[in-house]
Amino acid sequence: MIAKMEGCRALIRALESESVSVIFGLPGGAIMPVYDALLDSGMRHILVRHEQSAAHMADGYARASGKVGVCMATSGPGATNLVTGIANAYMDSSPIVAITGQVPTSLIGRDSFQETDIVGITTPISKYNFQVKHASEIPAVVRTAFYVASNGRPGPVLIDIPKNVQTETSEVDFNSQLLVRARRNNSDPDPVLVKKAAEALATAERPFILSGGGVRISNAYEELRALSELLSAPVGTSLMGKGCFPEDHPLSLGMVGMHGTVEANKLVQEADVLLAVGMRFSDRTTSRPDDFCRDARIIHLDIDPSEIEKNKEVNIFIVGDAKKTLKGIYELLAGQLARNVRSSLERIKEVKGLLTQQISSNGGKELTPCKVLKEARKVLPRDAIVTTEVGQNQMWAAAYWRTYIPRTFITSGGLGTMGFGFPAALGAKVARPEAVVVDVAGDGSFLMTENCLATSISENIPVIVIVLNNGMLGMVAQWQRMFYKGRYSATRLGRSPDFVELARAYGAHGERVESLNQFSNVLRRAISSDTTTIIDVPIDPEENVLPMVPPGKGIDEMIVA
């Protein structure tokens, strides 16, 4: 269908045809025509106070919903402020489309006011990017951007649109072709390799399944669960995989990695066959990739062929969609396996017992992160969404916040972006307004994007922030205690704002709690209040995240107390 219109209106129309219902952004000179056209559309715009938050909101929206999140900013500083959010989405394979205004084409390359080479800047941190040269290209560019962002291994795509292209009137064809060549379909696994994987798993004595974020992306939860039960194989997850397997399932071991559970880290090293699904053997998961599962036969399943041998040599690599491949393996094995379920459950119990003995001494205080998060789990509904900031708060949440449902644990895994959790919580709440959304924060991280409170109140997006307040940049401080002889360098925050007063200043609700009981009551009220609530929870400044695998050690060489 061909129509004559301005580029900015073509953009809005193309976004509508991708079913975009919400855009997170902040206007500026070089994107004004698009903001004007936006007024005539039914799309919701959520105004941020800093563009980094717009990208994180789009990311949180995408992770909670599985749909592409959209953020928008002007040229120059608007565009560069998006960069951290785009890099964050790239590292965690999150589908977002970022739209930036650009100076008119006649001014490009002249160091014009608010000109920056955002295409050059985002090349290494985006899956693809465009600079649009003519209004007529817009439908094809938008269609391609959404296709690329959400297909295969998802990721961020940036569209940079010079201002004169936004205002140019042109014949625009909305039945456009993709601007990238049709790619080979990587989602169907090679049946020969699926059979090999099934055979390896069938003869395994101590199989272990390690699930990453790919299981969430391909919605392979049921297949993962069916296969794990069939094999009686325990399941550990990477940080990105948390939520892919219900953490109250008897075969669930929680997270593998630097701050993984004792049982997951021990049992993964004991495995004779490891099935790694939709994960990339990152340094935080494996500690030492060469040493990781050294004696196991490893089957690595991923949709991205460039993950083959990137971090770890394996025995069988299957390029394919996790859902289809796990189903394929399951079907080959169903009905012909009779593994002793009890033996793996007993081993899990044995190792878990070990853990309880080792850390049960960590009791005394009234408000510990462990107690607070376990209490929150009791109070919050099963499908509540938890986002995290980065650092100790994140690792405590990974360890103690049990996640039962996919897409309900949202965290910055690859990039480790402090300040991600709060805007991501707002994005998640926009995607799933019926869900209770909670940001587990530290006082350090929270102050990085605290101004999202303004957006939260103005746009009526109520979320709950639990600030685990230790007055420190806690994770760095923990490393200074452990590896730098306790010399604190720049990790004491000094005088922080009063979070209760801060909340009030923005029109939100804030409470400081002194006891677990009080915390529980405040949280209950926050859930039913529909007002953004900050719960300030003072904790011991010297509390460590344990267990921990020190850098450079094997994954089962944990410090537990």
Partner 1 sequence: MEQETFIIGTIVENKPGVLHKVSNMLRRKGFNIDSISVGPTETSDWSRMTITFRADEATARQLVRQMEKLLDVVRAKILDQSMSVARELALVKLRVEDTRARSDAINYANVFRSRVVDVSPNTLMVEITGTPDKIDAFIQLARGLGLVEISRTGVTALERGLNALNSEKEGAQNG
Please give the positions annotated as active site. Answer: 51, 113-114, 163, 475
Nearer to partner 1, 124 or 494 (CB): 124
119 contacts partner 1 (rule: CB under 8 A): yes
86 contacts partner 1 (rule: CB under 8 A): no
186 contacts partner 1 (rule: CB under 8 A): yes
213 contacts partner 1 (rule: CB under 8 A): no
306 contacts partner 1 (rule: CB under 8 A): yes
Nearer to partner 1, 178 or 561 (CB): 178
Cβ at position 63, least distance to partner 1 in Å: 20
Of positions 181, 342, 485, 487, contacts partner 1 by CB under 8 A: 181
327 vs 337: CA distance, rounded Å: 15
Specify the residue for token string 């940049």: 473
509 contacts partner 1 (rule: CB under 8 A): no
| Whether the Cβ atoms of residue 70 and residue 104 lie closer than 8 Å to each other | no
Of positions 5, 54, 89, 319, contacts partner 1 by CB under 8 A: 319
Q: In what order do the strands lie in the sheet with 509-512?
A: 409-410, 385-388, 437-442, 464-469, 533-538, 509-512
310 vs 300: CA distance, rounded Å: 11
Going from the C-alpha of 184 to that of each of 305, 320, 365, 473, the distances in angstroms are 11, 11, 57, 46
Contacts of 69 (CB under 8 A, 6+ apart): 24, 57, 58, 59, 60, 61, 62, 94, 95, 96, 97, 427
478 vs 370: CA distance, rounded Å: 17
Cβ at position 161, least distance to partner 1 in Å: 16
184 contacts partner 1 (rule: CB under 8 A): yes
Q: Say which amino acid occupies 534.
A: I
Cβ at position 389, least distance to partner 1 in Å: 27
Cβ at position 151, least distance to partner 1 in Å: 4
Q: Find the part of the chain contacting partner 1 (CB under 8 A) among 38-46, 97-105, 116-124, 325-333.
A: 116-124
Q: How far apart are the first and last CA of the chain?
A: 66
CA angle 226, 313, 155 (to 5 degrees): 65
283 contacts partner 1 (rule: CB under 8 A): no
Of positions 151, 176, 362, 521, contacts partner 1 by CB under 8 A: 151
30 vs 164: CA distance, rounded Å: 9
Nearer to partner 1, 183 or 294 (CB): 183
Q: Find the part of the chain contacting partner 1 (CB under 8 A) among 69-77, 304-312, 344-352, 549-557.
A: 304-312
Neighbours of 42 (CB within 10 A): 8
312 contacts partner 1 (rule: CB under 8 A): no
225 contacts partner 1 (rule: CB under 8 A): no
177 contacts partner 1 (rule: CB under 8 A): no
| Whether the Cβ atoms of residue 180 and residue 148 lie closer than 8 Å to each other | yes
- Give the largest Cα separation in the chain, rounded: 72
Of positions 20, 303, 468, 548, contacts partner 1 by CB under 8 A: 303
The residues facing 377 across adjacent strands are none
Cβ at position 310, least distance to partner 1 in Å: 6
Q: Find the part of the chain contacting partner 1 (CB under 8 A) among 119-127, 251-259, 460-468, 478-486.
A: 119-127
The residues facing 536 across adjacent strands are 467, 512
147 contacts partner 1 (rule: CB under 8 A): yes
Give the SS3 label for residue 335: coil
241 contacts partner 1 (rule: CB under 8 A): no
- Binding residues (CB under 8 A) for partner 1: these are 119-120, 123-124, 127-128, 147-148, 151-153, 180-187, 303-306, 308-310, 313, 319
